[in-house]
Amino acid sequence: MTDRLSGKTVLVTGAGRGIGRAIAHTMARQGARVAAADVDMDSSEELVAELPTESIALGMDITSSDQVRSGVEKTVAHFGQIDVLVNNAGFLVFTTYEDCSEAVWDQIVDVNMKGTFLCSQAVLPHMKARGQGALINMTSLAAKTGGVAAGPPYAASKAGVSALTIGLARAVAAHGIRVNAIAPGVIETAMTDSAEHAPLKAQIPIGHTGQPEDVANCALFLASDEARHITGEIIDVNGGLFMD
């Protein structure tokens, strides 16, 4: 089946690399038109050139409400609609409770949590007016474990995303909008290519780390009509590293 998202428009943040890039490709292969947003416009443009469906590149810093609103407006102006928002953009620098600076804390929390909020806030009026929509947030295994290999600001920001997911799902369900999240474990990206993640990789029960496509396939399901009765859910994609 290659048309699960035919006629739909998907806005993906952090689309220029890693999981976001895989999500954009997966959505496009299923017929979606993609608005690929990234703080690095060059990476967005490179991605759009690879996609098989009509797509646009957006240079967007999700910590800026002005840039977020502008990106949403450009997407609606170009495609006429936004059916799915994937809040994928994230930032990680390993730090500890003792050495975490205020600047590092602010940057991580602003990108991961405030950015998710701002993007969600910006698309809601459009989705409410249409009486439909799906939001997919990216939380993390760190939100459940306290950040074994990530540090306090990352874990706290992702736990905040989990809470926002549940709260927003309740707030907008009556408007036909679904809100869910994905909690990846150790996925093979530049973000997990560190000494801190090596012990976790060795503990994965299923025997191997995940690939960006594993997360992308979960996002595809949540974006599709197959998930029409699912909202407020957080799906683990971690090979069994954390089970609940």
Instruction: Please tell me the distance from the alpha carbon of residue 14 to that of residue 60, in angstroms, as a whole number.
Output: 9
Instruction: Please tell me the distance from the alpha carbon of residue 147 to that of residue 185, in angstroms, as a whole number.
Output: 11
| Residue pLDDT, tens place only, 59-77 | 999 999 999 999 999 999 9
Instruction: Please tell me the distance from the alpha carbon of residue 39 to that of residue 67, in angstroms, as a whole number.
Output: 10
The pTM score is: 0.95
The per-residue pLDDT for 119 is 98
For the chain, which residues score pLDDT lower than 70?
Answer: 1, 190-197
Give 175-241 as a DSSP string. Answer: GTEEEEEEEE-SBSSGGG-SGGGHHHHHT-TTSS-B-HHHHHHHHHHHHSGGGTT--S-EEEESTTS
Please state, in angstroms and as integers, the Cα–Cα distance from residue 218 to each residue in 2, 64, 183, 226, following that order. 15, 28, 10, 11
Helices (H), 80-134: 102-109, 115-130
The one catalytic residue among 79, 91, 117, 154 = 154
The per-residue pLDDT for 191 is 64
Q: Is 154 a catalytic residue?
A: yes
The per-residue pLDDT for 28 is 98
The per-residue pLDDT for 200 is 76
- For tokens 């309740």, the residue is 170
Picking from 94, 135, 102, the residue whose alpha carbon sits closest to that of residue 116 is 135
Q: What is the largest CA-CA distance in the chain?
A: 51
Instruction: Please tell me the distance from the alpha carbon of residue 109 to that of residue 205, in angstroms, as a whole number.
Output: 30
Q: Would you kindly state where each structural domain of the chain is located, as residue ranges?
A: 9-237
Contact indicator for 84, 9 with CB cutoff of 8 Å:
yes
The per-residue pLDDT for 66 is 98
The per-residue pLDDT for 244 is 87
Q: Which two tokens stand for residue 123?
A: 């698309």
The per-residue pLDDT for 24 is 98
The per-residue pLDDT for 203 is 82
Q: Which fold has domain 9-237?
A: Rossmann fold (3.40.50)
